[in-house]
A and B are shown apart, each in its own frame.
Chain A
Amino acid sequence: MDFDLPKEVALVKRTVRDFAEKRIAPLVPEMEATQKFPVSLIKEMGELGILGLITPPEYGGSGLGYLARMVAVEEVSRISAAVGVSLQVHHMGVATLVDFASEEQKQKYLPPLSRGEYLGTCAITEPTGGSDLLGMCSSAVSRCDGYLINGRKCFITNSHLCKAPIFVAKTGEGPKGISAFVVDADTEGFAYGREEHKMGLWGANTGELIFNNCRVPKENLIGDEGDGMKVALKIISEVGRAGMAATALGILQASFEEAVKFAKERTLYGKPISNLQAIQWNIADISAQLDSSRMLCYRAAWLKDAGRDCSIETTMAKTYVTESALQCSKKALEIHGGCGTMMEYNIQRFFRDAMVCISAGGTSEIGKLVISRAALS
Chain B
Amino acid sequence: MAQKKSKLHELEIIVCIKPVPDPRKWDKLKLDPETMLLNRSQVPPVINALDLNAIEQAMQIKETNGGKVTVVTMAPPDAADQLQEALALGCDQAYLLSDIAFAGADTLATARCLAAAIKKIGRIDLVFCGAYSLDGSTSQVGPQVAELLEIPDLTHVVKLQIEGEGVKAECKTESADVIFESQFPALITFDREVNQPRLPGMVGIRRAKDISVVKWNAADLGINTDQVGLKGSPTQMLNVFTPTIGRKGEILQGSALELTSQLLSKLRTEKLLQ
**Which positions in A face B, CB cutoff 8 Å?**
7-8, 10-12, 15, 18-19, 47-50, 52-53, 57, 61-64, 68
Contacts and interface: CB of A to CB of B under 8 A. Distances in A.
Majority-rule SS of B interface residues: helix
B47 to A, nearest CB: 11
Nearest to A47: B201
A49 B81 CA distance: 20
B262 to A, nearest CB: 40
B85 A11 contact: yes
Contacts of B81: 7, 10-11
A29 to B, nearest CB: 23
B7 interface: no
Given A57-B206, A63-B206, A64-B206, A11 B201 contact: no
A64 B206 CA distance: 6
Interface of B: 81, 84-85, 88, 199-206, 208-209
B199 A62 contact: no
A92 to B, nearest CB: 18
Contacts, number: 49
B203 A11 contact: no
B206 A11 contact: no
23 contacts: A7-B81, A7-B84, A8-B205, A8-B206, A11-B200, A11-B205, A15-B202, A15-B205, A18-B199, A19-B199, A48-B202, A49-B201, A49-B202, A49-B203, A49-B204, A49-B205, A50-B202, A61-B202, A62-B201, A62-B202, A62-B206, A64-B202, A64-B205
A52 B202 contact: yes
Contacts of B85: 11
Contacts of B88: 11
A52 B204 CA distance: 12
B199 A53 contact: no
Counting chain A CB atoms within 10 Å of each CB, which of B84, B202, B208 scores highest? Answer: B202
A48 B199 contact: yes
Contacts of A49: 201-205
A101 B203 CA distance: 23
A53 B206 CA distance: 10
A12 B202 contact: yes
Nearest to B200: A15
Nearest to A18: B199
B23 to A, nearest CB: 13
Contacts of B208: 8
Contacts of A15: 199-200, 202, 205
A57 B205 CA distance: 12
B94 to A, nearest CB: 13
Contacts of A10: 81
Contacts of A53: 202
Given A7-B81, A8-B209, A68 B199 contact: no
Contacts of B205: 8, 11-12, 15, 49, 62, 64
A67 to B, nearest CB: 13
A235 B79 CA distance: 39
Contacts of A7: 81, 84
Contacts of B200: 11, 15
Nearest to B88: A11
Contacts of A64: 202, 205-206
A57 B203 contact: yes
Contacts of A68: 202
A62 B84 contact: no
B69 to A, nearest CB: 18
Nearest to A68: B202
A57 B201 CA distance: 13
Closest 5 CB pairs of A and B: A49-B202, A62-B202, A62-B206, A49-B201, A62-B203
